[in-house]
Amino acid sequence: MHIQALRLLNYRNYNDLYVDFHKNLNILIGKNGQGKTNLIEAIYAFAFGKSFRTNKDKELIKFNTDKAFLMGRIKREYYDDLLDIELLISKNNSKGIKINKLSLDKIANLIGKINVVIFSPEDLRLVKEGPKERRTFIDKELSQIDPKYYNYIASYNKILVQRNNLLKFKEFDSNLLNVYDEQLINLGSYIFFRRDEFIKRIAKISKEIHKGLTDSKENLDILYSSVISKKAILDINLIKEEYKKLLKESLDVDIRRQNTKIGPHKDDLKVLINGIDARVYGSQGQQRTSSISIKLSQIELINSIKNEYPIVLLDDIFSELDEKRQSLLINQLKDVQVFVTSAERNHEKIFNKKSCKVFYIEDGKILNSHSI
Ligand SMILES: Nc1ncnc2c1ncn2[C@@H]1O[C@H](COP(=O)(O)OP(=O)(O)O)[C@@H](O)[C@H]1O
Ligand SMILES: [Mg+2]
């Protein structure tokens, strides 16, 4: 799939922008603070209904104006259709979403209609960072291929907060605790189950990609690390049983700590290179390359599920990669629509004079664009 055109009104530092994109490679060049990431953020919002940088929609509205309007025209090759996705964000926190002029009543109905994978400098630290970042990665990526997962994780997090609040009372209603626990077990078991399935698929694809990126010198293993045993994780009913038991066993500790110790909110990914924990022992280069392999596997996975590639956004990561990794990355993304932002002008060298469109961005305007 690819985004053909974009319209922005009073969005971030853009007044009124209309732009047509290249079907494959789009390069956004500009100094810092000119509006490159803002543009990337807008494209991301057509897939997720929100920014990847903030949960506060209001921040997207141009200073001193009341509402922001974003429109993207997306061509989906598999369905052979065009989706005009419109987002209208108002100061009073209301948000309107339309697809081909029809209003959607909730964001969940937008998720999965189009697919976008974004790489930002934080993603290069996926392997190096703490477990929270890796869980966020899993949740975001799984949500866009499984809208049910999106709903489940949102509900799970809400109930987890309620349970933790309840535990803060010296005397609490144990019936209410049982109600929460039952809900956590139902939602959480599905989350465990889907994560395991997802990570196994990602592991398989990223192993192959990683071989390609390292001339077969490195063997990459991605493992799911959770409290549920390997045997139980294959069957949702077994997960439920085990989860229930563990939750019960930790009740005393939970009451003492006023917190929930057991659940998918404690999960992590283990990343091994040639059998060794890359997070602890890997070099920075290895950690980055394995992060790239994992993110790239997501692109392949979406293609295998949706029968077409997602739109790929590479924000500010080129300057963090050496030339060899830059070209390996671009070569992996041959038939994909890619947006690359960069503050440097030496793009022609990087892209081996591939057909592409280059945009020069300054102060919320596209000064000129040309095709190569
Ligand atoms: N709501 C807003 N209204 C007007 N300008 C904004 C808004 N939000 C961010 N900006 C401006 O956008 C610029 C940052 O744009 P960004 O796309 O992040 O830059 P870069 O080109 O470095 O990626 C800053 O100058 C900031 O002041
Ligand atoms: Mg930026």
Choose the final residue of a domain: 274, 291, 308.
308
User: What is the number of structural domains in the chain?
Assistant: 2
Count of CB atoms within 10 A of residue 36's CB? 22
Q: Is the domain of 143 the same as that of 94?
A: no
CA angle in degrees (0–180, nearest 5) for 350-140-179: 170
Residue 361 near residue 30, CB atoms below 8 Å: yes
Longest dimension (CA), the chain: 70
Residue 195 near residue 283, CB atoms below 8 Å: no
Round to the nearest angstrom and report the end-to-end CA distance of the chain.
21
Query: What CATH number is given to the structural domain containing 62?
Result: 3.40.50.300
> What ligand 1 atom has the least distance to the C-alpha of 341?
23
- What pLDDT is recorded for position 318? 82
- What pLDDT is recorded for position 62? 98
Query: What three-state secondary structure class fits 291?
Result: helix
- What pLDDT is recorded for position 255? 95
The Cα–Cα gap between 320 and 123 comes to 11
Tell me how far the alpha carbon of residue 121 lies from the centroid of ligand 2, in angstroms.
10
- What pLDDT is recorded for position 334? 83
Ligand lying nearest the CA atom of residue 51: 1
pLDDT tens-digit profile of 82-104? Answer: 999 999 999 988 899 999 999 99
Which residues of the chain are under the pLDDT cut of 70?
Answer: 346-353
- For a ligand 1 pocket test, name from 29, 31, 38, 339 the mutation site with the most ligand atoms within 8 angstroms of its C-beta: 38
Residue nearest to atom 7 of ligand 1 (CA): 12
> What ligand 1 atom has the least distance to the C-alpha of 34?
21
Choose the final residue of a domain: 289, 308, 327.
308
- What pLDDT is recorded for position 353? 62
Residues spanned by the domain of 170: 121-308
> What ligand 1 atom has the least distance to the C-alpha of 364?
12
- For a ligand 1 pocket test, name from 10, 11, 12 the mutation site with the most ligand atoms within 8 angstroms of its C-beta: 12
Q: What does the DSSP assignment read for 14-59?
A: EEEEEEE--SSEEEEE--TTSSHHHHHHHHHHHHHSS-SS-S-GGG
Q: Is the domain of 196 the same as that of 229?
A: yes
Residue nearest to atom 18 of ligand 1 (CA): 37
- What pLDDT is recorded for position 368? 84
- What pLDDT is recorded for position 265? 97
Query: What CATH number is given to the structural domain containing 267?
Result: 1.20.1050.90
Strand bridging mode 338-342 / 311-314: parallel
Tell me how far the alpha carbon of residue 267 lies from the centroid of ligand 2, in angstroms.
30
Tell me how far the alpha carbon of residue 36 lies from the centroid of ligand 2, in angstroms.
5
Tell me how far the alpha carbon of residue 120 lies from the centroid of ligand 1, in angstroms.
16
Q: What does the DSSP assignment read for 84-125?
A: EEEEEEETTS-EEEEETTEEESSGGGTBTTB-EEEE-GGGGG
Q: Is the domain of 81 the same as that of 229?
A: no
- What pLDDT is recorded for position 266? 97
- What pLDDT is recorded for position 138? 95
**Rounded to two decimals, what is the model's pTM?**
0.88
